[in-house]
Amino acid sequence: MFKVAVIGASGLLGRVIVDELAQQPDWQVVSTAFRRAGPHRIALDIRDEPAVRRFIEHEAPDAIVIAAAERRPDICEHDPALARALNVDAVRTLATAANQGGAWVLSISTDYVFDGTHPPYRYDAPPSPLNAYGRSKLDGERALTETTGLGCVLRLPLLYGPIVDWAESAVTSLVPAIAASASDSPDVKPAAMDAWAIRYPTFTPDVAFVIRQMLERHACGEAIRGIVQWSGDEPMTKYEMAIHLAGALQLEARLAPQHTPTDATPRPYNCHLDSDRLEALGIGRRTPFDTAIRQVLAKFPWRGDALA
C-alpha cells in the first residue's frame, strides 16, 4: 500500500489532487484542511509545528503533497507575516517531518518567482520576484530544498478548475463582471478587463494528473527531485479569457480592454514556464481552455440571479 498525505485538500487544487489519487488502486490518501475539515479530511493548522509533527508521525505517509498556501498577492503584500508563516515556515516544518519519516515531499510554487521580463523561464532560470507573494514562495522553495534531499518543487501558473465559488480562481472570478456587463440597461458600463499581462491558464485536473504521474515515479523508486514546472500552453490576457468565458456562457458581454497595469500589487508581464523537464520524462497533459472551462461551468451551473 502506497500512502500519500495531501495537505490543503479543501482548496482549488487540493480537491482535484485527492480525487485523482483516490482512483489509484493500492493507494491510500489521507488529507488535511484548515477551514473545511470533515469526515474525510483531518483538521490541521500547518502553522502549528507540534500538530504537524504528530500528524506526520501518526500517518507515516510515503509521500506528502503540500497544496496549502496563501496565494492571494494582495493579502501577501499587506500581511507578509501571514505569507511567510504559510508559504515558508510551514513548508520547512512539513519538510522536516517528512525527512525524519523518509517521505518524499512535493511543494507547490508559482510562476511569480520570476519578474516576467524574459520568458519562457526554465526551471533553473534565476528567480526575481516582484511582489511579496513571489518572494514568500521563493523562500518556501528554498526552505524545502535546504531541509530535505527527498523533495521536489512544482511551479505552476494561473490555475482554474472545478470551483465552490466564482472567486476561487482568478479566471472564474471574472464571471460576475462579465454577466453584469451583458445587462440591457443603458446605465451599465462595459466591464474593464486587463489586456496587458499575459497568463497561461492551467486546468487543475491536468495538474493533478501530472502530480499523480510524479508520485508513480516515486512509488517505483525513481523520485523526482529539485525544481520542475508545468503550464498550460495558451497565452491569454484576462480580457481574452473574458471573451472565451462570455462565449461559453452565451452572453453578449461588453468588455473594455485595459492596456496598462492597474493592480495595486505589482504583477509580472509574462512568466511563461518551460515544462521541458517533466515532458522529457513523459509526464503531462493539457486540456484546451475552451473545453476545460465549459466543464467547469457545467459543474457550477450559472444563473444570472446567482451573481447578484
Counted domains in the chain: 2
User: Is there a single domain that holds both residue 72 and residue 207?
Assistant: yes
Range of the domain at 297: 166-197+235-270+289-307
Q: What is the pLDDT of residues 24-76, one digit of tens each?
A: 999 999 999 987 666 678 899 999 999 999 999 999 999 999 999 988 999 99
The helix or strand, by DSSP H or E, that contains position 257, with its residue range, turns out to be strand 255-258
The helix or strand, by DSSP H or E, that contains position 215, with its residue range, turns out to be helix 204-219
pLDDT for res 110: 97
Cell 458581454 identifies what position? 253
β-sheet bridge partners, residue 191? 255
Amino acid at the residue 256: A
User: Is there a single domain that holds both residue 43 and residue 97?
Assistant: yes
CA neighbours closer than 13 Å in the CB half-sphere of residue 168: 16
What is the arithmetic mean of pLDDT over 166-182? 93
Mean pLDDT of the chain, nearest integer = 93
User: Is there a single domain that holds both residue 77 and residue 193?
Assistant: no
pLDDT for res 306: 47
User: Is there a single domain that holds both residue 81 and residue 111?
Assistant: yes
What is the arithmetic mean of pLDDT over 93-111? 95
Grouping H, G, I as helix, E, B as strand and the rest as coil, residue 153 is strand
Q: DSSP character for 280?
A: T
Please check whether residue 47 lies inside any domain of the structure: yes
Q: What is the pLDDT of residues 251-302, one digit of tens each?
A: 999 999 999 988 888 899 999 999 999 999 999 999 999 999 999 999 887 6
Give yes or no for residue 224 having a pLDDT over 80: yes
Please check whether residue 276 lies inside any domain of the structure: no
CB atoms within 10 A of CB 290: 12
User: Is there a single domain that holds both residue 137 and residue 17?
Assistant: yes
Chain mean position to CA 249: 24
d(CA 262, CA 126): 27
Which of 80-89, 112-121, 276-285, 293-302 is predicted least confidently?
Answer: 293-302
User: Is there a single domain that holds both residue 20 and residue 72?
Assistant: yes
User: Is there a single domain that holds both residue 97 and residue 111?
Assistant: yes
CATH number of the domain that 175 lies in? 3.90.25.10
pLDDT for res 227: 97
CATH number of the domain that 29 lies in? 3.40.50.720
If we measure between CA atoms, which residue out of 136, 108, 115, 292 comes closest to residue 210?
Answer: 108
pTM above 0.85, yes or no: yes
